[in-house]
Structure 1
Amino acid sequence: MGGGQLGRMFVHAAQATGYFTAVLDPDPDSPAGRISHHHLHADYLDSDALGRLSRLADAVTTEFENVPAQALATLAGDVPVAPAADAVAIAQDRIREKAHFVRCSAASGIGCAPYAVIENADHLAAVSADLLPGILKTARMGYDGKGQQGVQTLAELAAAWEATGRVPCVLEKRLPLALECSVIVARGHDGQAVHFPPQRNLHRGGILAVTEVHEQALPPAVAARAVEAARAIADGIGYVGVLCVEFFMLEDGSLVANEMAPRPHNSGHYTMDACDVSQFDLQVRTLAGLPLVAPRQHSPAIMLNLLGDLWFAEGSDQQRDPAWAQVLAVPGTHLHLYGKTEARRGRKMGHLNITGADIASVRAAAAQAAALLGLPDSTAS
């Protein structure tokens, strides 16, 4: 379900293992649909398309969290679906997501930032000034920084909520952040779970820009706590599939859970070139009921996210290809483009993984590649 770049990379992994694949996506040019054995070009709630998919497939997964949970629930009446509709529904709604993090904090010791739910005028009137300054986030359809607005005062909060159209929101207290990190867990039907090393992340404009993964990326105690919390969050809903949990590390060294994604994640793209199995390989295994082997990272890695801005010279709307030949001349670079037919500013077009024998050489290569592409400083430090 879903034909974007995450689906495309899942399809590649499934086909490499010998599976036939089918993609349901309304876009006739979807990156995954174009390479799959079957592309069902239809709306996610189209009953005929769902029926056809259930007849084609032995199992169904999703590549992004905004596939309607109702569609997954419908499919689950005929074929195994992982992750389950209930798990995806939690990730689709910040209110339910925050409540789940709070429930799991008893097991992990890691909760989320102080917050308030705002669904009506009474909720708004009851908000404590202690939550300000804060970030107002729409409960649904928010990702890559969308649906979020910083607020300093109760008056700004009221105006921001009005601007959303009074949709359900969460007000989250702004905390002093030291860094951002994430953990990717793969959990099978039998409850067995494995994880990749925690990733240190850098966002620009609300979109992940850089991921670094190596032994010095995070303090060991922080990395261990993040893994424990991510596994508790997966266990708490009996999750099956690949799950990414994003965390904030605060200036005092504590961790808070930010959000979860019920699918492979941008911060795990480095696994395609730096680990013996990728996050997409594990997604295939969880869906097919194959053994989950603990992944091993064999090389330090940096991932650079490649947005459509790179296809345009500054101040120009004329599209041109970035300097791929020069970038690929840098040792340790691995280019992954997503097969999208049109570059747009802010659109995810691909990623560049850089691997090497040690983090110093990887950082040097990443800095060189970033300079060639006109990107800012490439390290997440």
Structure 2
Amino acid sequence: MTTQPVSAHLGAPYSTLREDSTRIMLLGSGELGKEIALEAMRLGAYVIAVDSYEHAPAHHVAHEFHVIDMSHEETLSALIREVQPDIIVPEVEAIATSALTAAQRDQHIQVVPSVSIAQICMNREALRVTAAEKCGVPTTPYRFAQSEEELLDGALEVGFPCVIKPILSSSGHGQSVAHSPEDIPASWRHAQEDRRTAGDGTVSRVIVEAFAPLDYELTILTVSSSAGVVTCPPVGHVQKDGDYRESWQPAVIKQSTLEEAQRVARAVVEQLVADAQAVGEKGWGVFGVEIFVLTDGRVLFNEVSPRPHDTGMVTMISQNLSEFALHARAILGIPVHANDVTLRDASRAYASRAVVVEGEGEVIFSNLPEALSTPGTDLRLFGKPEVHGHRRMAVLLASAESADEARESTAHMLETLNIQVR
């Protein structure tokens, strides 16, 4: 474990913070964690940023940082005992949730949004059962399988083509589409080899889902706070290989579709929060609820992330309070109301575009004055130390009269930026 002295991370001496400042421990210090850290610090919190590598984005701004294997229970538990946080905020999924359970149970540390919610949302089986069977929201037909034989049986039940995913994975890892029974062996192997816990000697259960005739996807950012649950304007987005590439807000959709999408999002979040609060946890924070809209107009629940969502980076330019500011407020007990989740200007549209860089080495950005010459544009360079293969290194932001124009602005910015890997 590497620990950097606090003084290396403060723009002002630590003594300027009160000794009773709320101590927030970020587990995961990427670009989303960096924005959470900044917003929490603006509200007077002391932020401890943790990740598996040095110089992660949130390490640049936090009061204190640590580098550990967050998936190792004993290591994570030892760090929690050492830094004694008041609140633990998971920003990634590769975390030993058993350590979070112990921290909440034995030290009464607030886990965001709760230990139970983190465990459910990390597990596709638990989440799908909660959404479809407990909340009663519509989803694609699905089955679970423990073996290749059960996977084939499940695929035959839901029909081909079908989507196969490990129950423990994210960002498209281990996911494949089977078009016929002949594809099942390869899909099973891919799910086992590219899942989150691959190599641990166990066999992962998988979910097989009917292939939905998808028209488009939405993210409904949903905020649970001491004031209840509210939803942000819908976010449209484009993904590639399971990863976010573009998003815009508001998504232009029919009012009936919007109302159903918000109903589904609220139903799932309210159920998760109610179950958490029933056992004494807060359940506060931002949830990124992913929605499928089918070609026939039906709205289906897909997944929920119990933290700010990468597609929600557009809110850094679109909303009066970004998803990160909303998250910080909610977890600190500050009420979030409907008028806190509105757009800056309802007559305009907003877009974001991820900058994904390929290569090996340090990434250098230049020509920023030209890239930002169009009114209503902005960007965030994440400050990740280097790239190996491909990595999201920045996000471009734009405001315009329509979503198409805003997206065109971010595309122009990407073309104008000079990006070198060396």
* TM-score between the two structures when normalised by the length of structure 2: 0.80
- 1:175 partnered with 2:217: no
CA RMSD of aligned residues (A): 2.4
- 1:76 partnered with 2:104: yes
> For 1:305, which of 354, 371, 375 is the aligned residue?
354
- Matched with 1:185 is 222
- Matched with 1:97 is 127
- 1:221 partnered with 2:270: no
Contact 1:307–1:349 (CA under 8 A) maintained in structure 2: yes
- Matched with 1:124 is 151
Shift of 1:32: 1.2
SS in structure 2 opposite 1:183? strand
- 1:49 partnered with 2:79: yes
- Matched with 1:355 is 399
- Matched with 1:157 is 184
Quickly say closer, same or farther: Cα 1:302–1:121, change in 2 above 3 A: closer
- 1:36 partnered with 2:72: no
- Matched with 1:284 is 328
In structure 2, how many angstroms separate the alpha carbons of the residues matched to 1:323 and 1:91? 41
In structure 1, how many angstroms separate the alpha carbons of the residues matched to 2:236 and 2:134? 22
Shift of 1:322: 5.5
Runs of 4 or more above 4 Å deviation:
316-320, 357-361
Contact 2:362–2:386 (CA under 8 A) maintained in structure 1: no
1:178-206 CA-partner distances (Å, limit 9, x unpaired): 11111111102x46112211111111232
Contact 2:248–2:403 (CA under 8 A) maintained in structure 1: no
- Matched with 1:112 is 139
> For 1:25, which of 32, 46, 51 is the aligned residue?
51
In structure 1, how many angstroms separate the alpha carbons of the residues matched to 2:241 and 2:186? 22
1:270-312 CA-partner distances (Å, limit 9, x unpaired): 1112111111111111211112132110242011111123xx6
* TM-score between the two structures when normalised by the length of structure 1: 0.88
- Matched with 2:118 is 88
> For 1:194, which of 206, 226, 230 is the aligned residue?
230
Contact 1:65–1:262 (CA under 8 A) maintained in structure 2: no
Give the length in aligned residue pairs.
362
Shift of 1:66: 2.8
Quickly say closer, same or farther: Cα 1:125–1:305, change in 2 above 3 A: closer
SS in structure 1 opposite 2:365? coil
- 1:203 partnered with 2:203: no
Quickly say closer, same or farther: Cα 1:274–1:76, change in 2 above 3 A: same
In structure 2, how many angstroms separate the alpha carbons of the residues matched to 1:139 and 1:265? 20
Shift of 1:151: 0.8
Shift of 1:71: 2.2
- Matched with 1:147 is 174
SS in structure 2 opposite 1:180? strand
- In structure 2, the gaps of 5 or more residues are 1-26, 193-202, 274-282
In structure 2, how many angstroms separate the alpha carbons of the residues matched to 1:335 and 1:103? 42
Contact 2:245–2:354 (CA under 8 A) maintained in structure 1: yes
SS in structure 2 opposite 1:347? strand
SS in structure 1 opposite 2:301? strand
The residue identity in structure 1 corresponding to 2:213 is P
SS in structure 2 opposite 1:270? helix
SS in structure 2 opposite 1:33? helix
Quickly say closer, same or farther: Cα 1:363–1:208, change in 2 above 3 A: closer
- Matched with 2:164 is 136
SS in structure 1 opposite 2:88? coil
Shift of 1:360: 6.0
- 1:8 partnered with 2:40: no
1:67-97 CA-partner distances (Å, limit 9, x unpaired): 2221221221322112111111111111112
In structure 2, how many angstroms separate the alpha carbons of the residues matched to 1:222 and 1:101? 19
Contact 1:2–1:64 (CA under 8 A) maintained in structure 2: yes
- 1:62 partnered with 2:87: no
In structure 2, how many angstroms separate the alpha carbons of the residues matched to 1:365 and 1:286? 32
Quickly say closer, same or farther: Cα 1:306–1:28, change in 2 above 3 A: same
Contact 2:176–2:190 (CA under 8 A) maintained in structure 1: no
Name the one with the larger strand percent: 2
The residue identity in structure 1 corresponding to 2:270 is D
The residue identity in structure 1 corresponding to 2:141 is P
- 1:368 partnered with 2:412: yes
- In structure 1, the gaps of 5 or more residues are 376-381
Quickly say closer, same or farther: Cα 1:322–1:247, change in 2 above 3 A: farther
1:171-229 CA-partner distances (Å, limit 9, x unpaired): 111111111111111102x4611221111111123211111113x62222111111111
Q: In percent, how many aligned pairs have the same letter?
A: 23
In structure 2, how many angstroms separate the alpha carbons of the residues matched to 1:204 and 1:243? 21
Quickly say closer, same or farther: Cα 1:7–1:253, change in 2 above 3 A: same
Quickly say closer, same or farther: Cα 1:374–1:230, change in 2 above 3 A: farther
The residue identity in structure 2 corresponding to 1:327 is A
Contact 1:303–1:351 (CA under 8 A) maintained in structure 2: yes
